[in-house]
Structure 1
Amino acid sequence: MRAPSNRKVVVLGYGAASALGNTFASTWEKAVAGKAGFRRLTRCTVETRSQVVGEIPDWNPSALPYVSRKDASLWNADFVHLTMEICRQALEDAGLVIDNQTGPRTACLVGSALNGSDAYRIAMDHYTRLGPTKVSPYLLPNLCANLPASKAGMLLGFTGPIFSPQGACASGNHAIGIGARMIRDGDCDFALAGGVDTCLIPEIILGFANMLATINVGPKDRSFDDPTQASRPFSIDRKGFVLAEGAGVLVLAAEEAARAHGLLPRAEIAGIGWNSDAYHFTRPNEQTVTQAMRAAIDDAEIRPQDIGAVNAHGTSTPTGDTTEAHCLRTVFGRHVQGIPISANKSQVGHSLGASAAIEAALGIEAMRQGLVLPTVNHLPDPALADLDVVPNQSRRHRHEFFLSNSFGFGGTNCCIVFRGL
C-alpha cells in the first residue's frame, strides 16, 4: 500500500436535526437561547413513566420533494430519509457541489446505534396480524446500517466509500474520526460523517426505561409539569437521560481540496482518541475513558491546558456524569476549574448514535461565534462544585481548541479535539 498522504482535515459545514429543530439553523438558534426541546411522547403509545422524549419538531419525510408516496411506504425505517435530508442540508451548508470530479472522491459514513428498528417493528406487526406473505421484501434493506448513506448517495450523486461505523452512542464521533483518517491518508478528498437514530418506538423506550437508564418522570419530579426540565446533566437531581431522535452530519475535507474548490473551512480535526473499556456493557471504565481523552489531546500535539472548552458526553445519569467528571479532573488537573464544560444533551436529549455528531456541529459553531453553550436545567451538585458547567445560559468565551467526548454501550470511547480556524 502507498504511504499515507498525511493531509490536514477540515470541517466545511454541517447539517442536523434534533429535538430543538429540523435543521441545524433552528437547532442552533434555540440552543444559544438556552431552550430545551423535550415533550411528552407523540410518536407512539406506551405505558411507562419514561414518557418525556426528544422528538424532531415538524419532521415529516413524506413532505420532502424527493420522497414519493411509494418511497415513503417502502422505506419505512425513518433513519433512511432523515439521513438523506441531513446529508443534503450539510452539503448545501458547506457549499460543496457533487459533480464528476468531487463525486468519486466523496465518502459517506453515518453511524447508528439501533438502525432500522422501526421497520422491523412494522414487519413483525404485519407478520402477526396479516401473515408471512405481508412481510415487506424491503425489510432487510431497511435494516442495513449502510443503506441511509447509500440512499443519500443515490440522491446526491457521490460514489466514494459508504458504510456505517457501529460504536453505539459514540458512533457519530467514530464516523468523524474514520472519515478524517480516510481523508488524511488519501482515500477520499471529502466525507459526509456523522450519525443518525430514530429510536422512539415502544420496545426501545421500554428497554431503556426498564434498565433505569432514562428518566422516570413521577408526579414529584420537576419535569412532570414542565417536560423541558427532564434532562439535567451534572445537576444534583439528575436521574437518567432523555431518549431522543436525531441526525447530525459534518462535511469533512482535505485542506487542499477545500482550497481548490474555493471552500472556506470552519474548523480542523486536530486530534482523535479512541479505545474500549473491557469492563462492563454499560458502566464506564474511568481508566480507559481518561486514556481516550488524553489520546485525543496527544494526537492534536497540544497540552491539556490548551483545551479551551469541553463538550461533555453528559448524559444526565448519576454514574455517567460522576465518572466523566472524575476523568476530566484527572486529565486537566487544577486547570479543570477554568474550562467551560457544556452538556448539549440538556437541550437535545440523547440521540444515541447521532448525539456526538450533533454535539460536534454545535461545538464548532459555538467556537466560531466565540461562545460556549449552556448546560440547562442545572441545580448545583456540591460534589461537582469545582466544574464550570456553564449553568443555564450561553456565555461569551473565545477558545481555539475544544474536546468533544462520546462514550457508548459495550465500553466504546471516542474523543475528538477540534481546532478553530
Structure 2
Amino acid sequence: MKAPKNRKVLVVGYDAATALGATFADSWELASAGKAGLRRISRCHTTTRSNVVGEIPDWDPAALPYVTRKEASLWDASYVFLTMEICRRALDHAGLEIDDLTGPRTGCLIGSALNGTDSYRIAMDNYVNHGPTKVSPYLLPNVCANLPAGKAGMLLGFTGPIFSPQGACASGNHAIALGARMIRDGDCDFVLAGGVETCLIPEIIQGFANMQATIKIKPSDRAAQDPSQASRPFSIDRKGFVLAEGAAVLVLAAEEAAKTHGLTPRAEIGGIGWNSDAHHFTRPNSKTVTRAMLAAIDDAELSAGDIGAINAHGTSTPTGDSLEVACLRTVFGERLPDLPISANKSQIGHSLGASAAIEACLAIEAMHREIVLPTVNHLPDPAFADLDVVPNQARKHAHEFVLSNSFGFGGTNCCIVFQGR
C-alpha cells in the first residue's frame, strides 16, 4: 500500500435536521436561544409514559422536488430521503460542486443505529394483514444501512466509497473519524460524514422504555405540564434520555483540496480517540471511556489544558451522566470546574446514530461564534456542584479546541477534538 499522505482534514460545511428545526439554521437559532424541541409524540400512537420525543418539525419529504409519488412509495424508510436532503444541503453550505473531478474523490459515510426499522414495520404489517406477496421487493434495500448514502450519491453524483459505520450512539463520530482518516491517507479528497436516525415507531419507543433507558413521565414530573423539560442532563432529577429523530452531515476536505476549490474552513479535525469497553452491553466502562478522551487529546498533539470547552455525551441518565463526569474529572483534574460543559441532548433529545454528528455541527458553530451552548432544564445536582454545565442560557466564550464525546451500546466509544479555523 502507498504511504499515507498525512494531510490536514478540514470541516468546510454542514447541515442538520433536529427536534429544533428541519434545517441547521433553524436548529441553531433556537439552540442558541436556550430552547428545547421536545414534545409528545405525533408520529405514531403509544401507551407508554415514555411518550415525549424529539420530532423534526416541518419535515415533509414529499415536498422535495426529486421525490416523486413512485419514489415515495418504494423508499418507505424515512432515513433515505432525510439523508439525501441533508447531504445536498451540506454540499451547498460548503460550496462544493460535484463534477467529473470531485465526484470520484468524494465519499459518503452515514452512520445509523437502527437503519430502516420503519420500513420493516410496514412490511411486517403487510405480511400479517395482507399476505406474503404484499411485502415490498424494496424492503431489503430500505433496511440496508449503506442505501441512504448510495441514494445520496445517485442524486448528487459522487462516486467515492460509501458505507455506514455502525457504532450505535457513537456512529456519527465514527463516520467523522473514518472520513478524516480516509482523507488524511489520500483515499478521498472530500467526505460527507455524519449520521441519521428515524426511530420513532411504537416498538422502538416501547423497547427503550422497557429497558428503563428513556424517561417515563409521571403526573408529578415537571415534564408532565411542559414536555420540553423531559431531557435534563446533569440535573438532580434526570430520569432517562428522550428518544429523537434527526440527521447531520459534515463535509470534510483535505486542506489543499479545500484551497484548490476555494472552500472556507470552519474547523479542523484535531484528534480522534476510539476504543471499546469489553465490559457490558449498556453500562459504560470508566477506564476505557477515560482512555478514549485522553487518546483524542493526544492524537491532536495537545494536553488536557489546551481544551477550551466540552460537548458532553450527556444523555440525562443517572448512571451515564455520573460516569461521564467521573471520567472528565480524571482527564481534566482540578481544571474541570473552569471548563464549560454543554449537553445538547437537553435541547434536541437523543437521536442515537445521528446524535454525535448533530453535536459536532453545534460544537463547531459555537466555537466559530465564540459562545458555548447551554444545558437547559437544569436543576443543580450537589454531586456535580463543581461543574460548569452552562445552565439554561448560552454565553460568550472564546475557545480554540472543543472535545466532543460520544458513547454507544455495545461498549463503543469515540471522542473527537475539533480545532477552530
Q: TM-score range by the shorter chain?
A: over 0.9
Distance of 2:363 and 2:121 partners within structure 1: 35
Equivalent residue, structure 2, for 1:120: 120
Alignment partners' CA distance in 1, 2:115 and 2:257? 32
Shift of residue 220, structure 1, vs aligned partner = 0.3
1:326 equivalent in structure 2: 326
Q: Which amino acid in 2 is paired with 1:367? A: M
Secondary structure of the structure 1 residue equivalent to 2:405 = strand
Tell me the equivalent position of 2:203: 203
| Structure 1 residue 46: Cα displacement | 1.1
Please name the residue that 1:25 is paired with.
25
Where does 1:211-226 land on structure 2 (aligned, <5 Å)? 211-226=211-226
**What secondary structure sits across from 1:193 in the alignment?**
strand
Q: Once superposed, what is the RMSD of the aligned Cα atoms?
A: 0.3
Q: Structure 1 CA distance, aligned partners of 2:53 and 2:270? A: 34
CA distance in structure 2 between the partners assigned to 1:2 and 1:243 by the alignment: 44
**2 CA distance for matches of 1:167 and 1:306?**
28
1:151 maps to 2:151: yes
Deviations 1:283-342 (A, max 9, x none): 010000000000000000001010000000000000000000000000000110100000
Cα-to-partner distance string for 1:21-68 (whole Å, 9 max, x where unaligned): 000000000000000001100000011000100000011111111100
2:375 matched to which residue of 1?
375
- Partner of 2:96 in structure 1? 96
AA in 2 matched with 1:264: T
1:68 corresponds in structure 2 to 68
Report the counterpart of residue 357 of structure 1 in structure 2.
357
- Deviation string 1:167-204 (CA, Å, 9 cap, x unpaired) is 00000000000000000000000000000000000000
**Secondary structure at the counterpart of residue 288 of structure 1:** helix
Alignment of 1:289-328 (within 5 A): 289-328=289-328
Q: TM-score, normalised by structure 2?
A: 1.00
* Equivalent residue letter for 1:284: P
Moved over 4 A (4+): none
Code of the aligned partner of 1:106: T
Q: Which residue of 2 aligns with 1:412?
A: 412
The equivalent of 2:386 in structure 1 is 386
Which residue identity does 2:5 align to in structure 1?
Answer: S
Specify the SS of the correspondent of 2:282. coil
AA of the residue aligned to 1:117: T
Q: How many angstroms apart in 2 are the aligned matches of 1:14 and 1:152? A: 15
Map of 1:161 onto structure 2: 161
- Cα distance in 1 for partners of 2:66, 2:394 equals 37
TM-score relative to the length of structure 1: 1.00
Whichever residue aligns with residue 400 of structure 1, its letter is E
Query: What is the deviation of 1:379?
Result: 0.2
**Matched residue type, 1:415:** C
Q: 1:402 is aligned with what amino acid? A: V
Which secondary structure does the structure 2 equivalent of 1:326 belong to? helix
In the TM superposition, residue 127 of structure 1 has moved relative to its aligned partner by 0.3
**Whole-angstrom distance in 1 between the partners of 2:126 and 2:226:** 37
Gaps of 5+ in 1: none
Question: 1:354 and 1:16 mapped to 2: Cα distance?
Answer: 9
Instruction: Name the counterpart of 2:10.
Output: 10
Tell me the matched-pair count: 421
